[in-house]
Amino acid sequence: DNLSIHQLAAHGDIAQVKMHITCDNSLLNSQDERGFTPLMWAAAFGEIEMAQFLLEKGADPKTFARERECALSLASAGGFTDIVNIILKHEVDVNSYDWNGGTPLLYAVRGNHTKCVEALLRHGADITFEADSGYSPIALAVALGYRKMQKLLEDHILNL
């Protein structure tokens, strides 16, 4: 039971996380060796209640890891729509771009997560933002053969 707060967050162990931050509140936004916070671990592993709990305790969803990864991108890449929506209730940059060459929208398209894409577009995600390889979200959907995703993105552009 000497797991780090990051591992506990990933495992959704709210009781243990609560105990840790009660003893040392700075752990709430502590970054591991790659810059990932407990919220990022919870977002990456789809732990909805944990993400909600951490944010209620004051976890900062705007924190970037070493390569500018953020909780929103991790949740979008994993297709965890509930967590995407929870994070979007906070003031975050929906178009944050990281050194891995992507935005939350591009990660959601890559993973073919249509519900995440809808949530991001509703919050103003920039559909023209290209990955550093030059792929726009639509070009990515076409290249990956994601027909439903392609139509969703095309319909969004038509409605702009």
Partner 1 sequence: SQLSLYTSPSLPNITLGLPAS
* Residues making contact with partner 1 (CB under 8 A): 3, 7, 10-11, 13, 32, 34, 36, 40-41, 43-45, 69, 73-74, 77, 98, 100-102, 106-107, 110-111, 131, 133-135, 139-140, 143-144
Residue matched to tokens 């771009």: 97
Sign, CA torsion 116/118/119/120? positive
Question: In the complex, what is the shortest distance from the CB of residue 115 to partner 1, in angstroms, rounded to a whole number?
Answer: 18
Helix (H, G, I), strand (E, B) or coil at 147: helix
Shortest reach from residue 92's CB to partner 1, in Å: 16
Pick 101 or 118: Cβ nearer partner 1: 101
Kindly state the smallest distance separating residue 51's Cβ from partner 1, in Å.
13
The C-alpha atoms of residue 36 and residue 116 are separated, in whole angstroms, by: 21
Beta carbon of residue 27, minimum distance to partner 1 (angstroms, whole number): 17
Please calculate the CA angle 143-103-87 and round it to the nearest 5 degrees.
130
Could you tell me how far CA 132 lies from the centroid of its own chain? Answer: 19
- Of 73 and 114, nearer to partner 1 (C-beta) is 73
